[in-house]
Amino acid sequence: MLTGACMSRAGLNRKTGLATATLVLAAEASDLDVFYGIHGRAAALQHHRGWTHSFIAVPVMAGLAVLVVWAWNRFRKPRLDPTPPVRWGVLYAIALLGPLSHILLDYTTAYGIRMFEPFSYKWYEWDIVSIIEPFMLGVLILGLVLPYLFGLINEEIGARQPQFRGRTGAIVALAAVVLMWGVRDFYHRRAVSALEQRVYQGQDPVRVSAYPYALNPFVWHGVVETRDFYQTLLVDSRRGEVDPQDRARTYYKPEETPVLEAAKNSYLGRVYLDWAKYPLLITEPLEERDVAYRVRFIDLRYRYPGRSTPLGASVDLNQSLQVVGQRFGRRQQPAP
pLDDT of residue 153: 56
Query: Would 193 be classed as within a structural domain?
Result: no
Q: Are 288 and 317 in contact (CB under 8 A)?
A: no
Are 54 and 158 part of one and the same domain?
yes
Are 210 and 319 part of one and the same domain?
no
Q: Name the domain boundary from 120, 150, 179.
A: 179
Q: Name the domain boundary from 179, 208, 238.
A: 179
Are 148 and 162 part of one and the same domain?
yes
Beta bridge partners of residue 111, listed in sequence order? none
pLDDT of residue 240: 85
Query: Would 123 be classed as within a structural domain?
Result: yes
Q: Which domain holds residue 41?
A: 2-179
- DSSP H helical segments within the chain, as ranges? 2-9, 19-28, 41-47, 58-75, 88-95, 97-107, 134-157, 167-196, 258-264, 267-275
Are 248 and 262 part of one and the same domain?
no
pLDDT of residue 266: 95
pLDDT of residue 332: 43
Query: Would 107 be classed as within a structural domain?
Result: yes
Query: Would 309 be classed as within a structural domain?
Result: yes
Are 152 and 7 part of one and the same domain?
yes
pTM of the model: 0.89
pLDDT of residue 331: 46
pLDDT of residue 335: 45
Query: Would 187 be classed as within a structural domain?
Result: no
Query: Would 268 be classed as within a structural domain?
Result: yes
Are 115 and 230 part of one and the same domain?
no
Q: How many domains does the chain have?
A: 3
pLDDT of residue 83: 78
pLDDT of residue 147: 80
pLDDT tens, N- to C-terminus, the chain (336 residues): 999 999 999 999 999 999 999 999 999 999 999 999 999 888 999 999 999 999 999 999 999 999 999 999 888 877 777 778 999 999 999 999 999 999 999 999 999 999 999 999 999 999 999 988 999 999 999 999 988 776 655 555 555 556 567 899 999 999 999 999 999 999 999 999 999 999 999 999 999 999 999 889 999 999 999 999 999 999 999 988 888 776 789 999 999 999 999 999 999 999 999 999 999 999 999 988 889 999 999 999 999 887 777 789 999 999 999 999 999 875 444 444
Query: Would 149 be classed as within a structural domain?
Result: yes
Are 218 and 320 part of one and the same domain?
no
Nearest 10 degrees: CA dihedral of 159, 163, 168, 169? Answer: 80
Are 90 and 223 part of one and the same domain?
no
C-alpha–C-alpha distance, residues 115 and 104, integer Å: 9
18: phi > 0 → left, psi -120 to 50 → alpha, else beta; which?
Answer: left
Are 131 and 233 part of one and the same domain?
no
Are 242 and 116 part of one and the same domain?
no
Are 118 and 221 part of one and the same domain?
no
pLDDT of residue 148: 77
Are 15 and 145 part of one and the same domain?
yes
Query: Would 188 be classed as within a structural domain?
Result: no
